[in-house]
A = this chain, B = another copy of it.
Amino acid sequence: MSRNAPLVGIIMGSDSDLAVMRRASEVLTEVGVSSETTIVSAHRTPLRMVEYAQQAAGRGLKVIVAGAGGAAHLPGMVASLTSLPVVGVPVSGRKLDGLDSLLSIVQMPRGVPVATVAVNNAENGGLLAARIIGLSDQAVAERIRARAEKSANDVLERARRLEAVGPAEYGE
């Protein structure tokens, strides 16, 4: 169901980013937000990027989640070509621990914001898009709340178990 009439476009510079970015798709499905996932490379397919960004609003997308590594230009360039909110997910490469992609995404100049999340944290990229969608979709907002509650309960349960057995016996 989530692949029809997508509200969120998930894009990445290379299919090698999919191992990280897939999580955005999964979490959006989990909270009932339809999404599409594709590859749009700022550097290898710049014109496709222009087209994708310019057509996004017209195609009914509400949020774009863009993941990229290294000199990560995709999120910022897309943000300069649309008025939709754009979420940036820094993907770490083999060196520099994603600091290069984080700075390349977050340090946008005045006028063109990118909503940056943590390095490799595509789950948060998806959830941020869901929070935005949830502003106009009560069911989504409710699922986000339920998800947070479930997460809290999970912490409480583990806390109780840890308190019961003690840190020495607790099997992570």
Interface residues of A (CB under 8 A from B): 3, 10, 13-16, 18-19, 21-22, 25-26, 36-48, 50, 62, 69-73, 76-77, 79-81, 83-85, 87, 92-121, 123-125, 127-128, 131-132, 134-136, 141, 144-145, 147-148, 151-152, 154-156, 158-159, 162-163, 166-168, 170, 172
Is the CB–CB distance between B80 and A18 below 8 Å?
A: no
| A68: nearest chain-B partner, CB-CB | B109
Neighbouring B residues of A3 by C-beta, 8 Å? 166
Give CA–CA (A21, B132) in the complex, Å. 22
Q: Is the CB of A43 within 8 A of B166?
A: no
* C-alpha spacing A167/B155, complex, angstroms: 29
Q: Check A148 against B83 for contact (C-beta < 8 Å).
A: yes
Q: Using Cβ atoms and an 8 Å threshold, which residues of chain B touch A105?
A: 71
A109, B71: Cβ atoms closer than 8 Å: yes
Q: Min CB distance, A49 to chain B, in Å?
A: 9
Choose from B19, B26, B37, B170 the contact partner of A162 (Cβ within 8 Å): B37
Q: Is the CB of B103 within 8 A of A103?
A: yes
Q: Is A111's CB under 8 angstroms from B46's CB?
A: no
Contact of A120 among B44, B73, B95, B135 (CB under 8 A): B95
